[in-house]
Structure 1
Amino acid sequence: MDSLTFIGLLFAFIAIFGGQVLEGGSIESLLNFPAFVIVIGGTFGAVLVQTNVKTLKRALRMASWSFKTPKQEPKVAIDKIINWSMTARKLGLLGLEDEIDVERNQFERKGLILLIDGGEPQVIRDSLLVDLEVVERESMQAVKFYEALGGYAPTLGIVGAVLGLIQVMGNLSDPSALGSGIATAFVATIYGVASANLLFLPIAGKLKNIVQTQSLYREMFIEGIALIAEGENPKVIESRLAGFIPTS
């Protein structure tokens, strides 16, 4: 569980609502359902226009990564690759066949199959790099979904503000109707700017970092498989792969 996401959102809401109270306002004044519908509904509608179904499904699945980052254990992966290397040196590449049924990760399973089939190291690299690039591209398209939400939300906030002002101008003769129109105008702007800068863009940034970390993990795996195919010494493989692990 990524506690920083919860802490960040908590701080953001405390800052906004707390600041409103400190300025002498009420929290209720920030709650406006029409403004919410205009900004959030309009924002999602605009983004759906430019998004295909596949990207939408992937983006919705990836949303949970903001709160629970997919588990990546480079050191465990290195140990596994080293064990494969030692097995290959003792029993040959065919000695790794039993590992295919054990391996659950599809990307790593494909790498293992290519290795056992006796593929050339460069061929293995090229094949796995294509898979890596495809997955990374699809993931980054999903990240752009949230970046687009962050881009449209402030504009829809302005739309909500204009709609509120239109209501105000159309009811100048009825003072009782002015308050709701003005509230919608200003609250819509807050919703647009706040949702973009406190929710959508931060989520996009976190997901982008996760995708980059996953790509680095897969690059490390590709290098390890290729080194086994080259018949490299396990100690050398371990030393090479250790460079993929961040020092901090």
Structure 2
Amino acid sequence: MDIATIIGIIVGLGFVVMGITADGDIAGFLQLSSMLIVFGGTFSATLVAYPLQQVLDTIKIVSKAFSNNKVDPGSIIKSIIELANVARKEGLLALEEAAEGINEDFLQKGVMLIVDGTDPELVRNLLETELAFIEERHQGGQGLLEMMGALAPAFGMVGTLIGLINLLRDLDDPASIGPNMSVALLTTFYGALMANLIFIPLANKLKLRSREEILRKEIMVEGLLSIQAGENPRIIEEKLKAFLPPKLRQSEEEESRESEEA
């Protein structure tokens, strides 16, 4: 569970509520008609823009923004180095047995391609094609959330127009000015709040998760091709560490030195 996402939403709503209650009453900001316009309009327009199945799939993808099941790139590098050592000592065919203990489907698929004697260029093309489609699927979910982030304020403006139209229509009735103006402003408030606290931040979090996953798989591709080329495991390790940020790379090097000393 990614606590940061949950804390961010809860704290954000909390500060908004505190800001409201500091000088007013929260009950005045709860209006069913404004909620229906913004939430209903945003959801309906999303269904118009995207197929139903993609909307349902995105709901599953959004759960990744709340999960913290990240795979450490360092552990992937260690797995690849273990495979490289097996290939160097026992040959590429021995990787078939070693691949059975791999939990990562993408890495396992690449190993089996190598074992089958697939041409290195074809191995790269197959893995990079799958990588491209994974990234495209991720972008679909991100795009849907970004669209919802754009639609919510737009329907807030629709509610504002509705409120202003009713206000001008009943201008001769002073008692109706307050409620109509309330609808006009609250719909804009709901739209801006939903877009900037939920939809757009979640889309950004999914982009971050996608970049992390793509990086891990790029490490796998490079490592597998290096194994197939028969490179030295130490050279492969140094090559793959280049994918890591300096801080993480330094941590991996310290762990490697400690294990060698042990």
Would you call these one fold, judging by a TM-score over 0.5?
Answer: yes
After TM superposition, the structure 1 = structure 2 runs for residues 57-76 of structure 1, keeping only pairs within 5 Å, are 57-76=56-75
Distance 2:100 2:227 in 1: 19
Of the structure 1 ranges 38-47 and 62-71, higher mean CA displacement relative to structure 2 is found in 62-71
Query: Cα distance, 1:176 vs. partner?
Result: 4.4
Segments of 5+ residues of structure 1 without an aligned counterpart are none
1:207 and 2:206 correspond: yes
Structure 2 counterpart of 1:41, which letter?
G
After TM superposition, the structure 1 = structure 2 runs for residues 1-248 of structure 1, keeping only pairs within 5 Å, are 1-22=1-22, 24-248=23-247
Distance 2:77 2:71 in 1: 12
Distance 1:244 1:57 in 2: 34
Please provide the CA RMSD for this pair: 1.7
**Identity over aligned pairs, percent:** 34
Structure 1 counterpart of 2:9, which letter?
L
Structure 2 counterpart of 1:192, which letter?
G
For the Cα contact (< 8 Å) 1:149–1:200, is it kept in 2? yes
Distance 1:176 1:99 in 2: 78
TM norm structure 1: 0.93
For the Cα contact (< 8 Å) 1:43–1:149, is it kept in 2? yes
For the Cα contact (< 8 Å) 1:119–1:229, is it kept in 2? no
SS of 1:102's equivalent in the other structure is coil
Distance 1:167 1:140 in 2: 40
Distance 2:151 2:5 in 1: 22
Query: Cα distance, 1:190 vs. partner?
Result: 0.2
Of the structure 1 ranges 92-101 and 175-184, higher mean CA displacement relative to structure 2 is found in 175-184
TM norm structure 2: 0.88
Q: Deviations over 1:12-53 (max 9, x none)?
A: 21222222223x211111111111111011112112212124
Aligned residues: 247
Q: Deviations over 1:115-145 (max 9, x none)?
A: 1112232221111000000010111111000
Structure 2 counterpart of 1:191, which letter?
Y
For the Cα contact (< 8 Å) 1:150–1:196, is it kept in 2? yes
Q: Deviations over 1:69-102 (max 9, x none)?
A: 3422211111111111111111111111123433
SS of 1:94's equivalent in the other structure is helix
Structure 1 ranges of 4+ moved more than 6 A: none
